[in-house]
Amino acid sequence: MRETTPDISAEIVGELINLAGRQRMLSQRVVLHALLGLRGDAAALVVARECLDTFAASHARLVEGDDHFPGVFSTALRELYFGARKADERIRAFTKLAAHACACLERSVQASAADSACETAVTDLTAAATPLLELLQALTQAYQDELRSVEAAAAKRQAGIVDELSAISLRANIVALNARVAAARAGQFGREFAVITAELAHVIGEMDRLVQGVVGKPDARNSTPERHSGFRNQRMHARLAG
């Protein structure tokens, strides 16, 4: 299982997937509107700048985190952002290229003519867009992998809790059964005690139903009755009664 921060919820990772996926769209919109700006479309430059600001802010949220997001929270993500693929460095380099191109185009709009420097800036930005898109796709996939890991860890914790509850229920059933036997042997002196043991058995039954509600219906492919407290309790009852 991938190493993740224990307190990261599946909901948060789902939001991170959406945020990372949006980065792909934003990067392409920056390039598209920069190209339109090179043709003299001033409105396109406004859109390019807005998309770039959102792109940069989203990257900061993904890497550094904020009040809502945890930042880079796993070994796999740290390796992707800061390891051999240098995602953080490459994304920031693209952001600088885009900012330079936008600034150059904004100056050209004021001068009513795009110079060769603007053309070079946009060309460099366009060349960087395709490999960046592949990198952003890899990041999105990495967050999807983290979601599967978080969900698997949550399922494992839930299974552990269910097993603990089942074990408690089994022991309580044994105690309740022994108490009923002792109350029966005590005759009339054990009647009040028998009422208590009956109520205890009722409580245990409710616990069993709650456990089964958490577990759900057992999967015939990988589950057996031995994993469920009700079946274990029935076997124990039969053994003691015999």
pLDDT of residue 67: 92
pLDDT of residue 237: 46
The tens digit of pLDDT for each residue in 19-64 reads: 999 999 999 999 999 999 988 888 999 999 999 999 999 999 999 9
CB 122 within 8 A of CB 38: yes
pLDDT of residue 43: 93
Residue type, 242: G
Question: Between 116-185 and 229-241, two packed helices, what is the crossing angle to 10 degrees?
Answer: 20
CB 200 within 8 A of CB 172: yes
pLDDT under 70 in the chain at which residues? 1-6, 110-114, 180, 183, 188-195, 211, 213-242
H helices of the chain, in order, are 10-38, 42-64, 75-82, 87-111, 116-185, 191-215, 229-241
CB 169 within 8 A of CB 211: yes
pLDDT of residue 229: 45
Q: In the chain, where are the structural domains located? A: 10-154, 156-241
Greatest alpha-carbon pair distance for the chain in Å reads 106
**Cα(46)–Cα(21) distance, rounded to whole angstroms?**
22
CB 124 within 8 A of CB 132: no
Domain 10-154 sits in CATH at 1.20.120
**Two tokens, residue 133:** 């898109």
**Two tokens, residue 179:** 């108490």
CATH tag for 156-241 (out of 1.20.140.10, 1.10.287.950, 1.20.1560.10, 2.40.50.140): 1.10.287.950
**Cα(165)–Cα(200) distance, rounded to whole angstroms?**
16
For the residues of 46-89, what is the DSSP string, one character each? HHHHHHHHHHHHHHHHHHH--SS--SS-BHHHHHHHHSTT-HHH
- 174 to each of 90, 105, 131, 200, 239, how far by Cα in Å? 63, 80, 65, 11, 11
**Two tokens, residue 92:** 């920031």
pLDDT of residue 221: 41
pLDDT of residue 226: 42
Q: Does the global pTM surpass 0.75?
A: no
The tens digit of pLDDT for each residue in 210-233 reads: 767 666 544 444 444 444 444 444
**Cα(160)–Cα(164) distance, rounded to whole angstroms?**
6
